[in-house]
Structure 1
Amino acid sequence: MSSTGPYPPRLYARTVEIEDPGPLAPLLPGPDAFAWVRRGEGMIGWGEVVRSKPASVAEAEEWWTGLVSQVVSVSDLNQTPGAGFMAFGSFVFDPATTAARSTMVVPRTVIGRRNGRSWLTQIGTSFGHDDALPPVVQPVPPRSVSYADGGLTGPQWEAAVAEAVRRISAGELEKVVLARDLLARSSEPIDPRWILARLAERYERCWSYLVDGLVGATPEMLLRRENGLVTSRVLAGTIQRSGDNTRDLASAAALARSSKDLEEHEYAVASVADALAPYCSGMNVPDAPYVLELPNVLHLATDVTAVAGPERTSLGLAAALHPSAAVCGTPTETARETLAELEHLDRERYAGPVGWIDAQGDGEWGIALRCGIVDETDPRQIRLFAGCGVVAGSDPQSELTESNAKLVPMRDALG
């Protein structure tokens, strides 16, 4: 059953522990399934019990709180986040500049795997259920993939970066994150499960996701809330890997000393800490970032931790954090206006929160990076995105090189 109204009839959720099903990504039965996986763990779901298209993350939290109050749940794993009534969600970056809509979906069936325990949750208008899992129709790889520029060509995007640097140097703002898009086209419909499985296999330190045609593997955790503990992983400052370990080690050391990248990172960390401060206590912000190594790039990273009260769900905290300086800039409103003017693209759900929430308000919301959106009207086409933080010391050609490096995961997954 699907509903676009405020609430469906009373819902029932039953969760039972099951034998270990193995890595989750290969178990998705069809391309319209949902996934949030990392290192073989996480959750996958399919079917649709109820859907909401909220205007904002804050509106989604209000809707979710009301929905949860009407749910009857029975679970064998009461203390495991995500094991029970839950929803997957994906949000647009800026509702004011897109015709796309955010979405939250309660799936009919969920399989979870975490910390040595696995479970099956089934949700509906009664406790009736069927333990038999649907057969998996294996995805086929995209065929004859070709690429074309999106909103801007490479030289045009470099010019946009140069204009952003000029405005920063003039004191109009401190940082702006400029995105670019690339169109990929296959001769046959693209099955996002093919992309998801390859991202999950190669980028196991990232969170791989699939929600309504949005598929990717993000290294950046906007917000995780688990039993009151809040964690946010901030990434800003990037350098491409060479494939040579000795050179990469030198690159990592250079990145950790780069004044341009450290400045960019400092803005991002400060924006997260400032946004969480009114809702959390016991915050810990490390003095210096570490270097996160991924197969294609090296990132400066900082893990901010804090304690949140029970009145703030993961969605509520995500609403307070989004958009952070890591995907927008500083000051926020000036940066948002600048990127809307210079990018010449509709971000849709790129760089918006993506993840899940459970009935207790726990959840994980990553930032939709290293991703693509399959075209709803022509599933042979997918739009890929990458973005770079621009500060006073940014060089347009270097930023274009960095954006190309960030497109590598999706291009490789398309094969």
Structure 2
Amino acid sequence: MSENNYKVQRNLWENPWGYVESFFIGFGLLVTGFFLEMFVASDTPFTISYPYNIVFLVGYIIILFILYKWFSTTQLIRWLTKVPASISSIVLVTLLVMIMGIIPQIPSESNFINNLGLNHITSNWAFLLIVFQFLTCLGLISIKRILQFKWSNFGFILNHVGLFLALVSGMLGTGDLQRLSINVYEGEPSWIATDAKKNKVELPFAFYLNDFVIEEYHPKLALVDNKTGSIAHNNGKNLYLVNEGETYYFQNFEVTINKFLTSAGRIGDQYFPVNELGSPPAASITVKNTKNDSIQNAWISSGSFRYPYESLKISEEYSVVMTIPEVKKFSSNIDILTKEGERISTVLEVNKPFKFKGYKIYQLSYDEKMGKWSNLSVLELVKDPWLPVIYIGIFMMIAGAIYMFWVGNKITKN
């Protein structure tokens, strides 16, 4: 046998470490993490906030630099800068993310899931340890390429440093993320918000609600089974918008909308337009039974918190009802009052936040029982000071990808 054909079989844990050792270490970190989750972890997720997260980040980067600069020849550091260590950590992170997609991230009835923390993967010790290994690989590789800088590696550096910043900022920023809600009533200034644990938080500014406005769709007509109270099937057409002058058909019934009032009050046997608190929509309808040509005329209403609903019983089996109007849009006309005496006016709508002093202010909810007559607006305030750093990391990755594409295209042409 020639020397070229002779192959020496490498023993486990022999230098250099490969994929087998890498996955062995990774699974060891998973087991350690699940052990910590079962016997050490508390109900409160582990987070660090300002200024300790800044100190941790700076210290972590300094330690990575020292490890590469003076300990790069050791077996462990050499392994962390190689492909097997990165690939194994990526595979295991992906595995945990898949588990997160399969198992609902809410309290579970299964003790097994609760004890292993599989219902809160992102704060699970196993996940944190694997991600920490991946970040260490990423940081050491980035430092290696930076210290051995070449323009041909510029895109690689942008990609890896950008990913490192985005991941580290996303994890360390959890402790500084602030999500609050505040109830604001018309004509009253409000500055005391509450967090997820119902703790009170005093804001550095106040809200003053000038007006809360709800726009609604027209209510709908429905045929209801008198025995079950459920909406009857009508060949897939069992709900119709209430529009004046329209005629609809429910089985053998012909229903015509004679008159529709968006805000009405009953006077005697009729409804008239009124503009009072709790005045519901109402409609005058004519129902014709096409089997026996009998005709009924009546007013129906969806009702409100103040007035009961009114329906029309058209047979022993069915009644015609008007559903509660669905909300099309709701918004708050508010003033933001600062301690310096400023007064900033804005209109908040759903999914259209207003940015102020590091907060994103969202229109969240209202008093649903009162409906469009609600004088309460519930706002949500979100403050994430690490978000710009995450964006910087993402833009660096995009720039690195563009640079690598440009260089690769240039090399191909040459």
Normalised TM-score (structure 1): 0.21
Q: Which has the higher Rg, Structure 1 or Structure 2? A: 2
Question: Which structure's relative contact order is higher, taking Cα pairs within 8 Å and 6+ residues apart?
Answer: 1
Normalised TM-score (structure 2): 0.21
Instruction: Give the structure with the higher percent helix.
Output: 2
